[in-house]
Structure 1
Amino acid sequence: MVSIPSFHAIAAILVTIAMFVGFTRGRLSIEIVSLLTIAVIAVGLYFFPLEGAAPTDGLQLAFSGFGHYALITICALMIMGRGLVVTGALEPAARLLERLFAFNLQLGLLVSLLIAFGLSMGVNNTPVLVLLMPIFVTLAHRGAMAASRTLMPLNAASLLGGMATTIGTSTNILVVSIAVDLGMPEMGVFHFTPIVLAASLVALPYLWLVMPRLLDDNHVEAGVKQRRFHSRLRISTSSSMVGQDLAAIIPRLPEDIEFHDAPTGLIKQHQRLKLSGTHEALEEAVRTLKGAIAPVWVLDRIKRHADEKDQDITVVEMTVTEDSRLVSRSLPTSGVADLYGVAVLGIHRPERLGGRADQYTGSGDLIISAGDVLLVMGLTEDLQEFGRSDSLLTLDGARELPRRSKAWLAAGIMGGSVITAAIGLFPIAISALAGAILMLVTGCVKFDRVGRALSGQVIVLVAASIVIGRIILESGAAAWLGELLSLMLGNLPPALVLAAIMLFVTVLTNFASNATAATVGTPIAFSIAEQLNLPAEPMILAVLFGCNLCYATPIAYQTNMLIMSEGSYEFKDYVRTGVPLVILMVTTLSILLVMSYGM
């Protein structure tokens, strides 16, 4: 017979349910719901303290999540993930995907899933998906597989990879840290990786071959074309184009690149070629051919000043107005580089009514007209001075160039942090903090840009989740729920007990927060293991795995929402593809846990 829960246990359960409802209804932001939860617990425990505790102890418990080492670790990993993104350390993998998709669609999708899976084992899957998603959208616009059939499998693969290590997702860190608080030994980075790898042998074929066929082609043609910029490619002495015929080089370049007045014969050093393409295509052409689309002395000066001032280099688009002094001038005669220290990389000429022909100088340089859009690179203050002085309007879409010179450094710092934690040299909290400090000290992440690396939503959510987990445990709610579930599951074999716990947590994580599901599920699973005399570790892993099976609803995880608009997904798309994957994973992981722990 199950006993009646205490007043505090009932209150803890009601607060938890209220938080679930708040997340599910979506009328208030996640941050507001999380902060309200912390406030209610703080006020409630002050006026109605736990047995044997003082009112101020309740305040300490309510705000303990903000100082918890799990939250500090998560923030440090966010900073390191930001370092990988802003230095372009993940871009080689992104470029490989483009070439593979051009060779074979199915092979490209398979390798994409494996790369997303592998990267997400050591890096939070959000920056990985943010980096890879534009590639799939661009490929869809070029006639490849529709983005609606690739983004959801890619997202699921990154979630599957994040499940494989203790640092793969913030939820994993949360579960492991709560388990340590409950008295269990700390799990290493790759403690349960073999189990997930075995399960992935079943899941990845579903993501590759089945899931895309369950999704409709929701591709919608883009209503706005990307601007094409006319530029001059300067051939350096180290360029791979020197001594080759242009026709043999074109297949190696992006399809968006077009050469104008192409020269005959072999290409020579210091030759200048007229070409046009999108900003991304021009960047790829420069990187492939080791050339430059602005005077080299200007580019070197910008990079030197950026290093001296410790500032990022920015690329913006600027529209030439009727009042600009640039009208009727060409770039070589404008003196832009000497006056402002910025480099104009290209000129976009909008289609004009009346079909007025473009005008060129005797040397073939385009004469600038009002309405032209300039692609300009430089430091922020120099760009602002250029826009003010020459009557230019800065358009939206400014972006900072990756600090590629630090890409290998950022990758090495991340690798060192993972390896030292994996071999047990340092706890993950120390390795992550050391890695974050190195990212900041070495300039991979700028001190004034730390705010971009950290997610306020994640911080308050994790803090609230930690507090919910503590109050569920210390109020006796976890023990009571464990007693209730033990009574319900007592006559079931261990495999079904594991599956039931995993399925219970999976339902919670798909309709609320996976972090909150982790903090509620972990102490309950621990209590059930004690009451049924089962090993605690597989029960805790059942919670950890269940928290990562967030495929069935768009609100289950932030990346689910991230792909929703790009893939034009509806709620039913997540249900149709996610529910079979959840059932497949719950079954497979339960069997593997039983086999691994001899239950």
Structure 2
Amino acid sequence: MHFGDLAMFQMGAVYVLILITLVLYATEAMPLELTSFWVICSLLVLFHLFPVPDAYGNNQLSAKVLLSGFANPALLTVLALLVLGEGLARTGVLDSVAVFVHTVAKGRPGLAIAIALLVVVVVSAFLNNIPVVVIFVPIMQALASKIGKPSSRYMMSLSFAAILGGMTTLIGSSTNLLVSSALIKLGEPGFEFFSFTIPGLVVAGVGLIYVMFVQPLILPDRVTYDGEASGTSAKQFQAQVKVIAGSKLDGMASVSGFFPDLKGITVLMVIRNDEQFFPPYDDIVLNESDILVVAATRELLAELLGEDPALLRPDLANAKEYERKQIAQAWHKGEQTMAEAMVKPHSHYVGKTIKQIDFKRASNTMIIGIERRSSMKRTRVTETPLEAGDILLIQGEEQRMDDLRNNKDILLMEWSSSNLPKPYHAKRAALIFAGVVGCAGSGILPTEIAALAGAAVMVLGGALSLERAFKAIDPQIIMLIAAALSLGVAMEVTGGAAFLSHSMIVALGGASGPIILSAFFLLVAILANVMSTKATAVLFTPIAVAVARELNLPVEPFAVAVVFAANCSFASPVGYQTNLLVMAPGHYRFVDYIKYGTPLILICWLAFSLFAPWWYGL
């Protein structure tokens, strides 16, 4: 085959692979990771049989080059940020952000929604936005309920706010990191931490006006037949709490017959030296060794466990203070799980109390609460005879909880299992993340080194177990990014990027730089809603560089256009993962994203098209 014909064949083959990949990503005919794996294998076979030699005869698209995406600094940075985000979520740092929103709003739900969206934008600038959205979904549902609106009015705005926030810094989105990495491979300087923060704030700010003030008015009212879900379990468990010296309960006083400081927790009975007190409580100040029988949701009981495991665990409550601290520290280091289990009919537990079945010794887990369909007597939980159908709230290490599947007396409800937060390590996790942002933002360390070091310290410092760190790493992201990087380098080496850029310039008929930049942004934004944002970013970065070079213009505005446009995945639920996260809570349909996301794409496009030429001096 003639050299020119071979070059055209190689470039055409890459285009065909890209088109097939686009179709497979858009239709999800195969899982995304399987499609990505197929792409990589196809490229390996293609360029092994039809190599692209350099001046020295070496294959420019060898297996080493095509597989280098797996060791790409941008990919490793993304994975490290996922681990950091998991550490912040697991230690309850993000929950404290939610508490801050409620505090600032001072009981005004409408204001709280606006503050929440602003907080999401700010936090998403420095953190993977998936855990941010996960934390704020139930908060937005609860706030919407308080103002008498369905959550469908706000869920999409939540996702879009997170995406807009991710446009403002280098680590705000994996897309940003991939574009920066691709620029370096193409011989251009990569982005610094705040390289595009000013134009990002302009685009995000204009977009946020639509998200905060227009979308809530035009989004559909949708509720399920059962009404709105609260986002958290409303099931009330009866639990037994022992007041520990120095705990937040020690010295807590009743006000107007109740304990307002125990928000969401109903105190059913106070036991002091075998004397029982029932509500309303007249000027009672809780003392060490008082026992409270309370009713609360599992979420609130989980918070109590996280603050001090001794509160709900008699084995710790009866220990000496130094022993209790040692045991509590060991408890915090372990990966603690909470799950629900139902007492089976004809179970040996029926008619026996928690003390009598000696559940802790038999299973190395603790029953911390009981939920019963019928009313329960106000008595110590440990002295309540169990009945068939009782739901037991159980806490213990993951491995011990797995062993409960073999218990013939209870039925473990698999769906109910969730990991408990580790607020004991919250300050440590927050400091680690602040250190990563500080080192990367100031330039003391490159972003990839700061992120990887932070992830390592998060695990070594005990804020996150190694197992949870590995679970935070999504294999789909690894395969998708590696495949996109392989396609990007293949398109660059075969001349496909240069060909497309030249064709685009010719098609625009010698238009000015700002017009070409604007058209380029719109093209990337459209494709970002058809295929993956990450794949779009990697594939169009070489084209952006080629267009800028051919026009003899700065590369940076075209690279930034790729960053912003690829992040404009507002018109499809599959374009960005946060869109999928809010689809079910908001009861959205696919077409809703097209109807209410397309205006935001156009707003961002116009904002960028008007601001970027002036900012970059085009």
Q: Return the TM-score normalized by structure 2.
A: 0.88
Counterpart for residue 107 of structure 1: 111
What per-residue deviation string (whole Å, max 9, x for no partner) do you get for residues 403-435 of structure 1? 222111112111111211111111111111111
1:266 maps to 2:283: yes
1:398 alignment partner, SS class: strand
What is the aligned counterpart of 2:518 among 491, 495, 499? 499
Structure 1 vs Structure 2 CA RMSD: 3.0
Deviation at 1:548, TM superposition (A): 0.7
* Paired position in structure 2 for 1:468: 487
Question: 2:109, 2:147 within 8 Å by CA — same for their partners in 1?
Answer: no
Q: Does 1:149 align with 2:153?
A: yes
2:11 counterpart of 1:18: no
Shift of 1:369: 1.2
Q: Is 1:164 equivalent to 2:164 in the alignment?
A: no
Partner residue of 1:275 out of 294, 311, 314? 294
* Residues 1:58 and 2:62 are matched in the alignment: yes
Q: How does 1:15-414 map to 2 (within 5 A)?
A: 15-52=17-54, 54=58, 57-98=61-102, 103-140=107-144, 144-222=148-226, 226-238=234-246, 239=248, 242=251, 244-247=253-256, 250-255=259-264, 257=266, 259=268, 261-267=278-284, 268-269=286-287, 270-283=289-302, 292-295=311-314, 297=316, 304=327, 307=330, 310-337=333-360, 340-351=363-374, 358=376, 365-383=383-401, 391-396=409-414, 397-414=416-433
Give the C-alpha shift of residue 142 in structure 1.
6.2
8 Å contact 1:159–1:548 — kept in the other structure?
yes
Match of 2:273 in 1: none
CA contact (8 A) 2:167 2:204 kept: no
User: Aligned-pair distance for 1:94?
Assistant: 2.0
Which region of structure 1 is more displaced relative to structure 2, 158-167 or 488-497? 488-497
The answer to whether the 8 A contact 2:353-2:383 is kept is yes
The CA deviation at 1:220 is: 1.5
Counterpart CA distance in 2 for 1:332 and 1:378 is 17
For 1:418, the equivalent position in structure 2 comes to 437
Tell me, in whole angstroms, the C-alpha distance in 1 between the residues paired with 2:47 and 2:368.
Answer: 62
Instruction: Tell me the CA shift for residue 227 of structure 1.
Output: 2.5
Following TM superposition, by how much is the alpha carbon of 1:63 offset from its aligned partner in structure 2, in angstroms? 1.6
Per the TM alignment, residue 539 of structure 1 is displaced from its structure 2 partner at its CA by: 1.0
Shift, 1:310, TM fit: 4.9
CA drift of 1:503 comes to 0.5
After superposition, the C-alpha distances for 1:116-138 in whole angstroms (9 at most, x for unaligned) are 11111111111111122132334
Alpha-carbon distance between aligned partners in 2 of 1:584 and 1:427, rounded to the nearest angstrom: 33
Q: Match of 2:275?
A: none
Q: The residue matched to 2:33 in structure 1 has which SS?
A: helix
Shift in alpha-carbon separation, 1:387–1:167, aligned structure 2, 3 A:
closer
1:548–1:475 Cα change, 3 Å: same
Secondary structure of 2:239 counterpart: strand
Contact 1:306/1:313, CA 8 A, preserved across alignment: no
Read off the aligned partner of 1:582 and give its amino acid letter. I
Whole-angstrom distance in 2 between the partners of 1:389 and 1:31: 37
Aligned to 1:564: 583
> 8 Å contact 2:60–2:493 — kept in the other structure?
no
Shift of 1:240: 5.3
Could you tell me how far apart the structure 1 residues matched to 2:364 and 2:424 are? 21
TM-score (norm 1): 0.91
For 1:327, give the aligned amino acid: V
Separation in structure 2 between the aligned mates of residue 461 and residue 289 of structure 1, nearest angstrom: 42
CA distance in 2, matches of 1:11, 1:349: 64
Q: Which runs of 5+ in 1 are unaligned?
A: 352-356
For 1:344 and 1:510, the matched residues in 2 are separated by: 48
Q: CA deviation at 1:188?
A: 1.1
Contact 1:505 1:546 in 2 (8 A): yes
Structure 1 contact 550–557 (Cα < 8 Å) conserved: yes
Tell me which residue corresponds to 1:526: 545
> Contact 1:298–1:341 (CA<8 Å) still a contact in 2?
no
What's the CA shift for 1:473? 0.6
Distance 1:137 1:80 in 2: 26
Aligned to 1:485: 504
Q: Which moved more, 1:507-516 or 1:94-103?
A: 94-103
How much does 1:247 deviate?
A: 3.4
* Contact 1:359/1:367 (8 A) holds in 2: no
Indicate if the aligned counterparts of 1:232 and 1:275 stay in contact, CA closer than 8 A: yes
Structure 2: which amino acid aligns with 1:231?
A: A
Query: In the comparison of the two structures, how many residue pairs are matched?
Result: 592
